[in-house]
Amino acid sequence: MNAQPIDQAAAALPPETKASIYEGSKAGHEKRTKVLFDHYGDPDRLRALAGEIKQHVVENLDTYLPAVEAKLAANGAQVHWASTAEEACEAVHAILRARGAKRIVKSKTMVSEEIELGEYLERHGIEALETDLGEFIVQLGHDRPSHIIKPIIHKNRRQIAELFEKAGLGPYDEEPGMITQRARQFMRHKYLEADAGLTGANFVVAESGRIVVVTNEGNARFCLAATRCHIVLVGIEKIIPRDRDLALFLNLIARSGTAQQLSVYNEFIAGPRAPGQPDGPDEMHVVFVDNGRSDILATGSRAILRCIRCGACQNVCPVYRQASGHAYRSVYAGPIGSVISPLLGGHKDRLREMADLPRASTLCGACHEVCPVDIPIEELLVRLRDGARQAGARSPATPPMTGWSFVAAWPEAWRAALVAGRWVDALPRWLMPGPLEAWKRERELPPWRGGAFRRWLQKRGAPLGR
C-alpha cells in the first residue's frame, strides 16, 4: 500500500493513470446525473428519505442487530460476530477449516478488502479467487482496488491485455470482449472446484433476514451455484429495516453507482438450501464485522455509517480525480475514504496518521449533493480535521491562518494583499517565507489573478463596499 501522504502520491502519478481516472470518474458522474434526473422529478427527496432510513438504523443498531441475528438463525444461517479485522479473518478461516476447504471463490466484498482476508487465507494455504472481473484483474496484478465500483479505474485496456498475456491467459488482445472471455474461461472450472463461496452483502433486511447481493456480472450467483457452503462477510451497518425499503435502495444504488435503472443481478438469499429445494449451499454463515464501526457510532461522525458504497462521491470529487484511489492508503478512497478510513480499525493513532485525508478536500460539497443517502460529507470532513488537530496531527504544509484572518477582515489590507500577491507569486521559491514555500511546493496554483473579481463587479456597477 502506498504510504505517501496524499499530495505526494498525487504528484507522483503517471499521466496515463491520471487520464484513466479522470475520464472514468467524469463519465460515471455524468451518466449518473442524466439517468437519475431523467427518471425522477425530484431525486433529492429520494436521497433524503434513504438517508433518514439509514440514519434510523444507525441510531438503533443495538435493537436491529439482535433482531437480524434471530431472523437469520430462524432461516437456518449461522451468525458469527467479529470485533476486529483479525477476528473476522479467523472466523472465516475457522468455517473453512471445519470443512477442510482449500479453495474458495469470492464475489466482490469491500469488507474482505478492508480486513485483508485474501492475504490472510493465502498465508493459511487457502486459495481465494476473486470472480468480479475488476477484482480478478487486481488480484492477477498484485494490485489494490482504486474505486469502490470500478476497482481498476486506474488501468486502461492496453495495460490489462499486457497483464493477461504475462499471466498466461492468452496472447495480447486489448479488445474488451476478448478480455472478458479469457477471464470467464479461466474462472469457469474454478467455480466447480471451489469448496465454498464467499460474498458480501449490499443489504441485510431486518424484517426477513434476507441477504441482498447486487452484481452486474452474475458472479455472486456462480459462487453459490456449485459450492456447498456460503459465507457472507458484512459490516454491521448494512441493515435496512424492511423488504419494501429495497424498492428505494435498489433503485438508488444502481443509478448512483453505475447509472443503471437496476443492477443486472439482484440476489435475495433467505438462508441455505431448504429440504426439498433442488440446489444451493447446504450451509450458510453470516459474519458480521465491526472493526471500529461501534467506535464511529459513539462519535459525531456516525452519519458516515449510512454509506451504501455506491462510489458516486468518488466520481464527482475533484481531489479523487487528481489523486487516484491508491493515494488514500486504504480500500475506501475519495470523500467516503477521507471520512471512514481514519476512523475504521479502532486504533487511536489512526486519525493522526491519516490526518492528511480529511484535509484533502476543497469542501465544495459535491460529494454530499450526489450521495444517495444524503451524508453531509463536507461537515464530517471539517469535524475530522478538528479531531485530528486535537489528536496532535500537524500539517507542515499549512500556513498559519492568523495573517489570513487579519487580511480578510480589513478591506484596505485585502486590497494591498491583492497587489502584493502578484509580486509574491512571481518570487522564486527560495525567496519565499518558509511556511509559504512549503505550502506552494506541494500545489500547482493557477496564474495569479488577484483583483479580477472586483474588476468584474466594478464593470457591472456593483457596490464594492469600502
- Which residues contact ligand SF4 by CB under 6 A? 148, 256, 307-313, 336, 370-373, 375
Q: Which long-range contacts (CB under 8 A, 24 or more apart) does 319-323 make?
A: 319/6, 319/360, 319/361, 319/362, 320/21, 320/25, 321/21, 321/22, 321/25, 321/26, 322/10, 322/18, 322/22, 323/6, 323/9, 323/10, 323/13, 323/360
Full 3-state SS string of 251-277: HHHHHHHHCCCCCCEEEEECCCCCCCC
CB nearer to ligand SF4: pick between 154 and 285: 154
Q: Which long-range contacts (CB under 8 A, 24 or more apart) does 453-457 make?
A: 454/418
End-to-end alpha-carbon separation of the chain, Å? 53
- Least Cβ distance, residue 281 to ligand SF4 (angstroms): 29
- Least Cβ distance, residue 275 to ligand SF4 (angstroms): 39
Neighbour order of strands in the sheet with 229-235: 78-82, 283-289, 229-235, 196-199, 103-106, 127-130
CB nearer to ligand SF4: pick between 160 and 234: 234
The total number of residues shown for the chain amounts to 466
CB nearer to ligand SF4: pick between 208 and 315: 315
CB nearer to ligand SF4: pick between 299 and 390: 299
- Least Cβ distance, residue 370 to ligand SF4 (angstroms): 6
Q: Are strands 283-289 and 229-235 parallel, antiparallel or unpaired?
A: parallel
- Least Cβ distance, residue 334 to ligand SF4 (angstroms): 7
- Least Cβ distance, residue 337 to ligand SF4 (angstroms): 9
- Least Cβ distance, residue 109 to ligand SF4 (angstroms): 15
CB nearer to ligand SF4: pick between 82 and 310: 310
Between vectors from CA 212 to CA 224 and to CA 115, what angle results, nearest 5°? 75
- Least Cβ distance, residue 464 to ligand SF4 (angstroms): 39
Give the distance from CA 263 to its chain's centroid.
18
CB nearer to ligand SF4: pick between 135 and 374: 374
CB nearer to ligand SF4: pick between 121 and 333: 333
Rounded Cα distance, 109 and 132, in Å: 10
Rounded Cα distance, 311 and 262, in Å: 16
- Least Cβ distance, residue 385 to ligand SF4 (angstroms): 18
CA contacts within 13 A on the Cβ side of 22: 11
Rounded Cα distance, 62 and 311, in Å: 27
- Least Cβ distance, residue 149 to ligand SF4 (angstroms): 9
- Least Cβ distance, residue 325 to ligand SF4 (angstroms): 12
CB nearer to ligand SF4: pick between 307 and 354: 307
Give the distance from CA 120 to its chain's centroid.
21
Rounded Cα distance, 220 and 114, in Å: 19
Full 3-state SS string of 134-200: HHHHHHHCCCCCCCCCCCCCCCCHHHHHHHHHHCCCCCCCCCHHHHHHHHHHHHHHHHHHCCEEEEC
CB nearer to ligand SF4: pick between 372 and 387: 372
C-alpha cell at 74: 430462524
